Structure formats: structure tokens, C-alpha cells
Structure 1
């Protein structure tokens, strides 16, 4: 029973594809909404509060996934860890995105 070294790893292109489908799309939506909605002095505060954490989550997700590949865990455990990172990344991205939407609604429709 012979196994090659590459059988137990997920291709990096697949990982980047999964990460880009989740984090990058939501991050770009946040940037787009922020750019259209906030054309005032609060733009810098909003960028610091919402967009910087989203891009931080993207960077953390990529580094954690690459680290998982480097330590070469078996395939089942790697898949479970990969799914956990993606789920945490989705949750962590949607929380500031939700607060951004609520802030927009509060500021535009409260008056």
C-alpha cells in the first residue's frame, strides 16, 4: 500500500478559490456600500471600524490555511479544520457587515 505525499493535501488553488468566494466578495460589498453611502467626515472612522477588520480576517484565514498545509495533517482532519476556518471567517465577516447595514439604516432613516 503506497501513498504519495500529495494525496493528503488540498491544492492551494482550491483553498484560495474558497477563501475568495467567501471573504473577498463580502469585503468588496462592504467597501462598495461604504463608498456610496458615507461621503462625509465619518468615512475614516467607518473604514477603521468595519473594513480593516474584514481584511484582517482575510489575511488570518489565508495564513491559517497555509499553516495547515505546511504541517501536513491527514486529509480528514485538514478538511475539518479548513471548514471550521471558513465558517469562522464567514461569521466574523458578517458581524461587522451587519453592523454596517444597521448603522446605514439608523443614520439615513432616523431623521
Structure 2
């Protein structure tokens, strides 16, 4: 088997790791998008809040595109939206965060860093 021929399990493993990365990073942007408190409206200009949210949406779109690129590059296959969504249904955010910390500390997400440059 050459480097471009991955088993189904290998492909699913890459999708899982990238989805884990995505879930944790996307949560940061979602927190910004959902940050509606009287404090925000009373002390910060509404236009500024709009700008923050627009930035968060843009970053979330960039993150989705980045994850698609990572998966296609690592698997040498077209992006499988069904597999991406199937993996997304596995766990809640708390689990993703725990798995992310474990995968990160074990160095199993290091391959993603080359795409962050």
C-alpha cells in the first residue's frame, strides 16, 4: 500500500481528529456569536458587537475551509460530507474538548499544524 492508499479506518481516523480540532476551535467562535448580555449592549457600541460577530462568522468559515483542505490533503480523496457529519454526531462539546486535550498532548494533532502556517 503506497502513501496515497489509506484504509477506510485510516480515513475515518483523520476525519475524527480534524473534526475534534474543528469542534474545539469552532466553539470559541460560537461563544462570540452567542455572547448576548446586557453588559455588552450597555458598555460596548452595537456596531462593534456586529464587527466582532462578523469576524467570528468569517473565522468559522475559514476554519471549515481549512478542515476540508486538511482532510483532502491528508487522505488524497475528495471531502466526504456524509462522513464529516456522521462523525459530528458522535459526541457533545465536553467530550470533544476532553478528546482534543488528549490527542493534542499525545501529539496526534501535530499534522494539522503544517496547515496553520
TM-score (norm 2): 0.46
If the length of structure 1 is used for normalisation, what is the TM-score?
0.48
- Structure with bigger gyration radius: 1
Question: Higher helix fraction: Structure 1 or Structure 2?
Answer: 1
